[in-house]
Structure 1
Amino acid sequence: MKALLFSIALTTATLSAQAQHLYELTAPSTPKVIHRGHLQLGGSNPSGDNIDVNSYYMSINGTPTIPVMGEFHYCRYPEAQWEEEICKMKAGGITVIPTYIFWALHEEEEGVFNWEGNRNLRRFVQLCQKHHMPVIVRIGPFCHGEIRNGGLPDWLFAKPLEVRSNDVNYLKYVKRLYEQIACQLEGLYFKDNGPVIGCQIENEHQHSAAPWAITYPGEDPDHTTATYDASITMVGVSVQDKAITRAELGNIHMRTLKKMAEEAGIITPLYTATGWGNAAVIGNEALPVTAAYTYPFWAKPGMSPFCRFKNIQLEPDYSPVRYQTDQFPSFCAEMGVGIQMIYKRRPVVPAQSAEALMVRTLGSGANGIGYYMYHGGSTPKQKGGITSFQDEPMGMPKISYDFQAPIGEFGLEGKMFRNLRLLHSFLADFSHLLAPMEVVLPDNYRQITPDNRKDLRYCARIKDNSGFLFMVNYQDHDTARITQGDLALKLNLQGETLRIPAQGTIQLLKDESVILPFNLPMGALTLKYATAQLLMKLDDRGTEHYIFFAPEGMSPQYLFNPATTRGKHLFTPQPGLNSTFRVTGRNGKSILVTTLTRQQALNSSKVHGKLLITHATVLPGETDIHLLSMDQPQADYILYPSRAGWKKQTTRVQPVTPAYTYQKVGARRLTVHFPDSVAAPQVQEYFLEIDYTGDVAMAFMQNLLVQDHFYYGEPWTIGLKRYREQLKQEDLSFYFRPLKEKAPFLMDLPKQAVPDFSKGSVCRINRVRIIPQYKIKVD
């Protein structure tokens, strides 16, 4: 067998001579121990589907899986547009939607609950069910989510009770809330064949809190905690460095809340609780979930540890934690691939940061990933339309909750949407392989500090000699990273030494993050390695067709085990649509392999079992596909397999010319007149784009604030569908505040976004336009 692998099994001396930078990993001699049956989690439904959780991963119907969770707050988005946003999330690779149920939004007035309109939880969950999207409900009672009081109603502040404790008066109100939620979700739980598979109890208990909205300028705010927890309260997600003196009360409170939820009827196979920062947990009855933010607004800018590989199950981010880590899978459910802006801090998150964070997290052993937020929104106002539900004491915008999310406040793709979709596509087809694989780290991984630009950041996940290599050459807040070249990796596996590549070297460009397979079973064949990243697998008329893409700066090479092939076993294709090759196994069965360019992969999604490549946003229906195209009444696409094969196709609709006018009133005011905003059938939505330079921008209708925006160097783009009827009657009115030279957030802005202050503060409206977004059907 070793003789057949002549180009793979090499001596250490030969390896060192061929590679300037040789990096090595050694697989464990014994397999990872996985504990089963100790967690009070999981369940089945009448259709025979079941969910199970062991100490390392989750299984659905016996198959290991890595869920991809994307937070979307139904109450922060117009009800009429929920369905299309759920479909966009599904097209982005999201497989579970978590959503907060903000108590304050549903019970503004004590004893009067509102479950209508944008607060219609039941309708939102039913739409998720229609599109086969599982849901995790985050029932609080405390949520935060940058909502006023963290979601606790204002009127609760006036009561003689201790919030977030087992105070009987507090629990009386929580019981009523839980009973209301249970009523809304009746018949929609997994046990009823519904989509609600999970429930989060409370949030960040004994870790973080929100300021009560009643405060005074210059005063240290009160926080939404029990008095006995006041000294340990934190703002935001971070490492807890204070001793929690009443930890037992926190654990008791969490168990009490879970029992109350179940008694109310909120019964799900999965329960979760905040796991980071020594937060209170619920023993073996709930999954402790973790978080990571590379650009937090609540901390000083600086290189984070979240682009360095480690064993994230045993060393969770924001440790220490309050649970036995080897007894639970690592569910990284609050990954900050974007971030909300506050007035004093406006960190701008690059797309590469999101991709690097998630490649690092998967490589480090995460077996559940989730994003906060995946879909942005707009926070509603309180009754009367004046006071915001947003957490204003923290410096939030009064309405905007865009979060620089993969899908933004008005449903447009964020800059990291496609970077993350690369990973989601991979997980959709291969997480059953990845989930059981254990983490293998280099010996020096603890010495690779955030400012280390010399040593390669890498690790592997391995099971039975098969696995994936993970590499990251990105570090947040680092402007001095360089390309790492002349790289080779040596894997010491059980009975085999594998060199990647077999001959020569590879390079990892600055800011790139990659995942490379080795000893990958592909039908009856074994791929020894590829210097290309796996994207998805298709059924191509009965033949398995594997789609890879070439990382920037890396030449693709595929080496198959000669013992499993008939004929050629080494392939070096040129990336692109003409790169497909066929490999035939010893049993006569063959597979197909195509290597896309990275840009083609970024434009790729899998819809209804087919590969769709397009620059447009993909909006899949139950049986059809539409493309959303900004400002262009046509869209190019490739749909494979199809009769057209790899040939580019173009679909068109009739163009429209929006009839609008606008008027500037001085440097700070603007009105936009667009009465004919009712969309033609081919128009999905109109977007108002305002390119301005200033500090804060505000939009008004009916003399009330309806949207706001903190300047960070990019145009303000507002979806107009939600204002369609109002625009028939009145104009949108805007007010802009000037940007000052001593603004506290200038350090966060890109250099090109900071204007010349030589003539004083700056307030400019540079351009105003309305852009149609076309909806075009794919044949």
Structure 2
Amino acid sequence: MENKMNNYLNIKDCVKKNIFPLSEKFYGKDPVGNEIGFTNYYMTMNGNPYFGISGECHYSRIHESEWEDTILKMKMGGINIIATYCFWNHHEEEEGVFRFDGCRNIRAFIQLCQKHGMYVIVRIGPFDHGEVRNGGLPDWLYGKPFDVRSINDGFIFYTKRLYKNFAEQFQGLYFKDGGPIIGAQIENEYMHSGAPWEMTTGVTNEWVPGGSDGNAYMLKLKELAIGEGIVTPFYTCTGWGGAAAPTDEMLPLWGGYAFWPWIFYNYRGEHPLTPEYIYREYHNNDVPATYNFEPAYEPESLPYSCCEMGGGMTCYYQYRFQLPYESVDAMANIKLAGGCNFLGYYMYRGGTNPKGVRNTYLNECQCPKLSYDYQAAIGEYGQTRPSYYRLRALHMLTKNFPNEFCKTVTILPEGSQEIQPSDVDTLRYAVRTDGTSGFLFINNYQDHTECKEKQNTNIALDTQKGEVLFKDISISAGEEVILPFNFNMAGYELRYAKAQLLSVITEKDSTTYFFFMPEGMMPEFVWNGENITSVNGKTLKSPEIRVKPVATQASVTTLDGIHGKVKVILLTRAQSLMYSEIEWQQEKVVLLCDTAITYDGDNLRLETPAIENNEVMLYIYPNHSITELQGAIMNTVVDDIFTGVKIRWEDRQCRSIELPFQNVGVGKYTVNIPKEFHDCRELLLQIKYQGDIGQAFVNSEMISDNFCNGDIWEIGLKKHWDLVMNAPVTIVVTPLKKGSSVNVSSTMAGRLEENNEQIESVDRIHIKPVYQASIKLK
């Protein structure tokens, strides 16, 4: 067992950041005077710290009927900025023919973002990557008499034309016009990465070049964008991997992935453990470089901001895996602790590649032709994954306490950055602080290995107000946590909490704070008792108030004293995953709901649960009545803390149904879809199979594909409804092959595949409907 007294950290001598505004190149103002800017440490809104949380979502990979639901789910998940690639070959697959129809209608997508108060960063290329064919470059560029991704008259001409067409779609939607577009990314991974030229794949295997013109190329593209009217408060570029980054003009963005399927292009063996889950410093001039962060500038001269933290990862043909969803919030914890004040996830919402005209499939060859689910927080068909709920709980802290969080500095234990990924015994922790108060970070997740529970360890922090001793800390394997210390709770000093802070609500007669207890941790609150006169109605006079709530259920602790009444509502970890917030009539309202929930400013919408259950709970705090419910029935429920409703759907609306299917050939199966679910929001076809690749067709048209990783393959059928109502779905499973060879002994150019063994089967098929109920509050 770890020595309890090994974990000591002196934070009282920490040096506060020299925080200063960046130049006018990182500033914008809208028509009513709202200002966006950046200091060297964080983003600002009207001069105040603003914690940006960006989620990648590709409009052209989502059916336009799903855009609004997607945007609302992202907003409810704590995202406040949507980043989106604008793939050139999705818009100009045929030379000179620009398409902005259907799922390619970027203007309509951005207008929906504006409707729901979401900012947008457009990633306008010309090269994007994103596992798209040629990294997004149209095929017709291959035969042009010039080099792509280079300063030459030919490529500049076509890029300028591309930007002109984008600018026409963006007109009136920039921040300066009162619109939501606050940033534009120029190029992607320039001089760091290319992509296969897909028309040569399998023969000469040529690659789109990474580029060689350095910052001059990046600045030329920015000049083109501004010249065509793409004028935003700031511009961004890739920061990692030695990419060209003219930081006087563009904000370099960073990231990190713990799952690397691309290495299996030429690597064989087990996936290595990655160093992503070791605490590091990203904003300290005394640490000019660390793992995956080697800037060409002084770290403290620019904010450490992210755009590509692994919000999931797609399976490549040579590497299949099921993403551990706790890996996503664990990475966010690591980045926050290291000095990040601008989170960005790639992907946050998965999707489906649109089909082309010249080339039916617009994917990169190592990835599925259609599916880009990415095992993201929001899946290909709008499914909400465990990572969605875990991230939402974490986002509440930065959303609700930006002033307390953004200015704090990182302090690491000695030797922290030298911890090896294989070391799962050493406690991984870090602090962000102003020297007096702050947040203790603990991470107990490591990729590609088995983590261990940490039990009954102590962490001592030497602060400017004296020692804060976190005693007997335990945390489950795979869990991460952020704990406050010397925290001002409406005038009362919380010395520390063994619980994570979520939010605060100011009510008429009290202030209410929400916390949750991390998995494996026994909750405890310790206050300076100087100004407190009673706890839970019992008069107390003590220099220190210590409360240890029951660890198995939610509880309320009420303080009273010279600063008035303060309530602390402590939720279980499971309840933290139900937690969300809305603004209703200029009032913050807390919702606890055990299914996906969205709010459009007028109605709440609840989805039927993913599990086999036709009931969900919706608790509302402070208490509000429900004036209207459509699509379900409800009963009022009251417990010791919350008032809410139990919402019930018909059994048929919630239950998955096993479907009969027919084996009609080698690796070929057919299944008919019942017509009774015409009124659902989505209908998921769920297939459990064994094999190499699964593909689904209707009337010979592919509607979905899947690289088998042992998980359930889900297909959303609503956008194919007319097709599947008139013909069966054909499932084609390519087998796993053993002892495979091609017999070429024929003298007449005959070739014949031969295999010792083939493994393929469809084990079962279900359908799972997704319905919504609509609710109005009073």
Would you call these one fold, judging by a TM-score over 0.5? yes
Match of 1:390 in 2: 363
Partner Cα separation in structure 1 for residue 420 and residue 391 of structure 2:
25
Q: Counterparts of 1:270-349 in structure 2 under 5 Å? A: 270-299=234-263, 301-314=271-284, 315=289, 317-349=291-323
- Once the two structures are superposed, the pairs formed by residues 476-515 of structure 1 within 5 Å of their partners are 476-479=447-450, 481-501=451-471, 505-515=472-482
Instruction: Report the CA distance between 1:607 and its aligned residue.
Output: 2.8
Amino acid at match of 1:671: T
Tell me the distance in 1 between the aligned counterparts of 2:417 and 2:133.
40
What is the CA distance between 1:542 and its match in structure 2? Answer: 5.2
Q: 1:49 aligns with which of 7, 22, 34?
A: 34
Of the three residues 528, 546, 550, the one matched with 1:570 is 546
Offset of residue 212 of structure 1: 0.9
Residue 569 of structure 2 is matched in structure 1 by 594
Residues 34 and 54 of structure 1 are in contact (CA less than 8 Å); yes or no, is this contact kept in structure 2?
yes
Query: What whole-Å deviation, never above 9, does each CA across 1:165-189 have from its counterpart, x for those lacking one?
Result: 1111110111111111111000000
Match of 1:517 in 2: 484
Q: 1:112-146 deviations in whole A, cap 9, x for unaligned?
A: 11111110000000000111111000000110111
Q: What is the match of residue 456 of structure 1?
A: 427
From 109, 114, 117, the equivalent of 2:102 is 117
1:569-614 Cα offsets, whole Å, 9 max, x none, are 3211114665111112323x11110111111111222233322222
Partner of 2:744: none
RMSD across aligned positions (CA): 2.2
Counterpart-to-counterpart distance in 1, 2:363 and 2:643: 49
AA aligned to 2:83 is P
Cα distance in 2 for partners of 1:599, 1:726 equals 40
Contact 2:330/2:445 (<8 A) preserved: yes
1:580 maps to a residue whose letter is: V
Letter in 2 for 1:726: L
Structure 1 residue 369 displacement after superposition: 0.6
Indicate whether 1:415 and 2:386 are aligned: yes
Are 1:649 and 2:613 an aligned pair? no
Whichever residue aligns with residue 489 of structure 1, its letter is I
Following superposition, the deviation at residue 774 of structure 1 comes to 2.0
Deviates more, 1:341-350 or 1:660-669: 660-669
Deviation at 1:319, TM superposition (A): 3.4
Deviation at 1:374, TM superposition (A): 0.4
Q: TM-score, normalised by structure 1?
A: 0.88
Percent of aligned positions that are identical: 36
Contact 1:536–1:546 (Cα < 8 Å) also in 2: yes
Paired position in structure 2 for 1:374 = 348
- 577 and 612 in structure 1: CA distance in 2 versus 1, 3 angstrom threshold: farther
Change (3 A) 1:703 1:217: same
Contact 1:378 1:402 in 2 (8 A): yes
User: Residue 335 and residue 216 in structure 1: after superposition, are their counterparts in 2 closer, same or farther (change >3 A)?
Assistant: closer
* Cα distance in 1 for residues equivalent to 2:739 and 2:299: 46
1:163 aligns with 2:138: no
Matches within 5 A, 1:6-405: 19=4, 21-38=6-23, 40-217=25-202, 219-226=204-211, 229=212, 249-299=213-263, 301-314=271-284, 315=289, 317-383=291-357, 387-392=360-365, 395-405=366-376
Deviates more, 1:508-517 or 1:38-47: 38-47
Cα separation, 2, equivalents of 1:651 and 1:507: 36
1:3 maps to which residue? none
Q: Structure 1 residues 56 and 659 mapped into 2: Cα distance closer, same or farther (>3 Å)?
A: closer
Between the aligned partners of 2:87 and 2:738, the Cα distance in structure 1 is 38
Query: 2:502 aligns to what?
Result: 535
Equivalent-residue separation in structure 2 for 1:192 and 1:553 (angstroms): 50
Q: Note the C-alpha offset of 1:29.
A: 4.3
> Cα distance, 1:759 vs. partner?
10
Shift of 1:397: 0.8
Please name the residue that 1:750 is paired with: none
- What residue is the counterpart of 1:13 in the other structure? none
Q: 2:593 matched to 1:614?
A: yes
Q: Give yes or no for contact 1:577–1:594 (8 Å, CA) kept in 2.
A: no
Higher relative contact order (CA 8 A, sep 6+): 1
TM-score (norm 2): 0.88
CA distance in 2, matches of 1:434, 1:90: 21
| CA distance 1:511–1:654, shift in 2 (3 Å) | closer
Partner SS for 2:421: coil
Worse-matched range after superposition: 656-665 or 341-350: 656-665
Kept in 2: contact 1:20–1:486 (CA 8 A): no
Q: Tell me, in whole angstroms, the C-alpha distance in 2 between the residues paired with 1:455 and 1:659.
A: 47
Give the counterpart letter for 1:663 in structure 2.
Answer: Q
Unpaired stretches in structure 2, ≥5 consecutive residues: 536-544, 625-637, 741-754
User: How many residue pairs were aligned?
Assistant: 718
Secondary structure at the residue paired with 2:60? helix
Question: 2-side partners of 1:648 and 1:200: how far apart?
Answer: 44
Q: Report the equivalent of 2:633.
A: none
For residue 9 of structure 2, give the secondary structure of its aligned residue in structure 1: strand
Residue aligned with 1:214, SS: helix
Deviation, structure 1 residue 641 = 1.9
More strand by share: 2
- Alpha-carbon deviations, 1:200-227, whole Å to 9, x = none? 000000101111112152644232344x
Q: Provide the rounded CA distance (Å) in 2 between the counterparts of 1:497 and 1:675.
A: 66
Separation in structure 2 between the aligned mates of residue 322 and residue 387 of structure 1, nearest angstrom: 41
Distance 1:456 1:661, change over 3 A: closer
For residues 216 and 624 of structure 1, what CA distance do their matches in structure 2 show? 50
Partner AA of 2:100 in structure 1: W
Q: Report if aligned partners of 2:11, 2:433 keep a CA contact under 8 Å in 1.
A: no
Ranges in structure 1 where 5+ consecutive residues have no aligned partner = 1-16, 230-248, 744-757
Say whether the 8 Å CA contact 1:524–1:585 is kept in structure 2. Answer: no
User: Do the aligned partners of residues 633 and 18 (structure 1) sit closer, same or farther apart at CA in structure 2, a change above 3 Å counting?
Assistant: closer
Q: How far apart in 2 are the matches of 1:182 and 1:212?
A: 27
Q: Which moved more, 1:171-180 or 1:314-323?
A: 314-323
Q: How has the CA–CA distance of structure 1 residues 611 and 257 changed in structure 2, closer, same or farther, with 3 Å as cutoff? A: same
How far the C-alpha of 1:477 sits from its partner, in A, is 1.1
Deviation at 1:448, TM superposition (A): 1.5
Alignment map for 1:651-690 (pairs within 5 Å)? 651-656=647-652, 662-666=661-665, 668-674=667-673, 676=675, 679-680=678-679, 683-690=680-687
SS at match of 1:500: strand
Distance 1:25 1:478 in 2: 31
Deviations 1:315-371 (Å, cap 9, x if unpaired)?
465233333322110112100131111111113220121121111111111111111
Distance 1:632 1:120 in 2: 37
Q: Which residue of 2 aligns with 1:550?
A: 517
* Contact 2:14/2:435 (<8 A) preserved: no
Q: Is 1:740–1:760's contact at 8 Å kept on the other side of the alignment?
A: yes
3-state DSSP of counterpart to 1:81: helix
